[in-house]
Structure 1
Amino acid sequence: MNEELGLRERKKRETWHLLMTTALDMFEERGFDNVSVAEVADKAGVSKATVFNYFDTKEDLVVAGAKAHIHEPADLVRDRTPGETPHSVMRDYFLRGLKEREPMSGLSDHPMVLQVQRILRENPALGLRAMEYRRQSASLLAEVLIEEGSSEMTAHLVASQLLHVQHILAQGNIRRVWAGEPLDEIYPDAVASAMHAFQILANGIGDFMRREPDGTIDVAFHHERFSAREQAERALREAAVREAEDGILEKLADPERLASHRSSDVSGGDGH
């Protein structure tokens, strides 16, 4: 029975991958608006109904990677260990994504990921679908916080901020990858940026851009004491310690889990 289920799941992943790669090639060659789902099905040798069994909409043939991560933030926060906060869990999740060069972090140069980014650049309206998946992910995360006792307003504010910070960080990394910078050169700065961004969430923005009596504006956060590279080096040391101690990160590193998500995660920072 287990072998049969394993074969069935493998077949599903293969079909999913075939449909998406076929669609991406056709969209890039002819333009997203000039290719129908029926044509994708015909090219892949399946029925149109089969395509919709795997992808709810035509747009999902491009941004399905974002859909694969909808439940992940809520699951991570719900399963966090004693002493962990939603903030720290999501910070460590993003740092892990950077280290593993996961598309969700924006720090990926996988050919399919780059192909998706090219299509998105040519068809900005496709980003609306990925945006909707981020909204759904934030809503699910907020539900977890509400279940644990948070007020609705606070839960939705916190969930939205955590996921939007991740999105902004990923987009910054995508721009540098797109410009041709090597991933290993981007990585330290990406870690520093992530630490800085999540530190802003941890400390708040109260004094940022205060207009002083003499007319000057204080543009720096008072807690910034390290250069970007120093922040990155410190963050990497802290991440190594957390990885050894954090059960949540161990779950994220599970080979079977990564294998099941890596094949479907192809939408970079527009997923979470």
Structure 2
Amino acid sequence: MDVEPPLGLREAKKQETRQLISDHATRLFQRQGFEATTITEIATAARVAKKTVTNYFARKEDLALDHHEEFTASLARAVDARKPGESALAAVRRAFDTALRERDPVAGFAGPAFARMVADSPTLTARLRELHEQREHALAEALAAATGAPADDVLPRAAAAQLASALRLLFVRIQERTLAGATDTEIATTFGAEAERVFDQLEPALGRYAVR
């Protein structure tokens, strides 16, 4: 009689399988192109059933953009984690500085092959645009909660639009520099000043907004 592994082991195995599938999918996408690669090919490469792939990834795009949940929640989490006396802008700025130092994929660090894969795929480009919009929506909800604003208040949405647009611009700039041949280390060590200028431009409007 087979004995089921403890919950912790089962979850670890699931994460291992999920990562294995995603890794094989990314390699195929980079070699063949996203649109040209099939779920069947991914399942074969990962040595799992096709249904296993679709169980772990509801959308083909999520096989490539597998940090999507972390990405869409990132700005809202930064606001939720702001320190006493810290504004939403300051918290987001601090989170971006950390992401820059750590070469975080959520900030746009993905390497040239991955950046080219996304840029060459209309489907992935559209999905990434959708994820940026979802991130802005999550941020607006976090700002409304942080300020106690009523559901129909436009200010949290306006603030979220400004912050999310700034982070989207920085994400795109990192991708552009990656495609131009700069390494992650080169970008991380030279991009700080440019990011500072972007955040400084928001300071007059949002410097005291949603202070904890």
TM range (shorter): 0.7 to 0.9
Amino acid at match of 1:49: K
Equivalent position of 1:55 in the other structure: 57
The verdict on how the C-alpha distance between 1:28 and 1:72 changes in structure 2, with shifts beyond 3 A counting, is closer
Identify unmatched segments of 5+ residues in structure 2.
Answer: 206-212
Alignment partner of 2:136 out of 138, 149, 152: 138
2:108–2:175 Cα contact (<8 Å) kept: yes
1:24–1:115 Cα contact (<8 Å) kept: no
Deviation by residue 1:28-62 (Cα, 9 ceiling, x = unmatched): 33332222213322332222222122212011111
Deviation by residue 1:169-215 (Cα, 9 ceiling, x = unmatched): 122122223322344443343111111111111125xxxxxxxxxxx
Counterparts of 2:109 and 2:24 in 1: how far apart (Å)?
A: 24
Alignment partner of 1:88 out of 87, 90, 97: 90
Counterparts of 1:95-244 in structure 2, within 5 Å, are 95-107=97-109, 109=111, 114-147=112-145, 148-150=147-149, 152-204=153-205
The verdict on how the C-alpha distance between 1:72 and 1:106 changes in structure 2, with shifts beyond 3 A counting, is closer
Counterparts of 2:170 and 2:48 in 1: how far apart (Å)?
A: 38
Equivalent position of 1:34 in the other structure: 36
How many aligned residue pairs are there? 198
What TM-score, normalized to structure 2? 0.83
1:131 deviates by 1.6
The verdict on how the C-alpha distance between 1:172 and 1:139 changes in structure 2, with shifts beyond 3 A counting, is same
Counterparts of 2:136 and 2:22 in 1: how far apart (Å)?
A: 26
Deviation by residue 1:79-107 (Cα, 9 ceiling, x = unmatched): 32220111111001001001111122234
The verdict on how the C-alpha distance between 1:81 and 1:56 changes in structure 2, with shifts beyond 3 A counting, is same
Question: Which structure has the larger Rg?
Answer: 1
Amino acid at match of 2:70: A
The answer to which structure, 1 or 2, has the higher relative contact order (CA under 8 A, 6+ apart) is 1
Counterparts of 2:63 and 2:166 in 1: how far apart (Å)?
A: 25
Question: How many percent identity over aligned positions?
Answer: 33
Equivalent position of 1:75 in the other structure: 77
1:80–1:89 Cα contact (<8 Å) kept: yes
Counterparts of 2:38 and 2:186 in 1: how far apart (Å)?
A: 40
Counterparts of 1:240-251 in structure 2, within 5 Å, are none
Identify unmatched segments of 5+ residues in structure 1.
Answer: 205-272
Amino acid at match of 1:101: R
Alignment partner of 1:19 out of 21, 30, 37: 21
1:73–1:90 Cα contact (<8 Å) kept: yes
User: Secondary structure at 1:71's aligned position in 2?
Assistant: helix
The verdict on how the C-alpha distance between 1:108 and 1:122 changes in structure 2, with shifts beyond 3 A counting, is closer
RMSD: 2.1
